[in-house]
Amino acid sequence: MAYQEGESLESWLNKATHPTNRQEDWEYIIGFCDQINKELEGPQIAVPLLVHKIHSPQEWEALQALTVLEACMKNCGRRFHNEVGKYRFLNELIKVVSPKVSSVRYHL
């Protein structure tokens, strides 16, 4: 792995989801997961970064971000799972599949 000491989560994610990647770059995807696990606040930092990438107008970048999310779910454990289980994150995913949902009000 081309790991560089002190590389930030944002840097790992940018490389893992770069729009010019021809295919998923597992070196950086796993590096991102490893960095999440190393940092005390890794999940709290990583989740907003992932949300931003998932909302990318560049389809390939967004799809790669979803692959990274899946890898994180498999490799980052309970702390990460707790963070993505929060309403704030789930609401952001709902916006991806239904951009108008945020303006809709549900009445019981």
Retrieve residue 25's tokens: 């770059």
Q: Where are the domains of the chain?
A: 9-98
- Which CATH number is 9-98's, of 3.40.50.720, 1.10.420.10, 3.40.50.2300, 1.25.40.90? 1.25.40.90
Number of helices (H), then strands (E), in the chain: 6, 0
Tens-digit pLDDT profile for residues 37-95: 999 999 999 999 999 999 999 999 999 999 999 999 999 999 999 999 999 999 998 88
Residue 39 near residue 9, CB atoms below 8 Å: yes
Tens-digit pLDDT profile for residues 4-45: 556 899 999 999 999 999 999 999 999 999 999 999 999 999
**The model's pTM:** 0.85
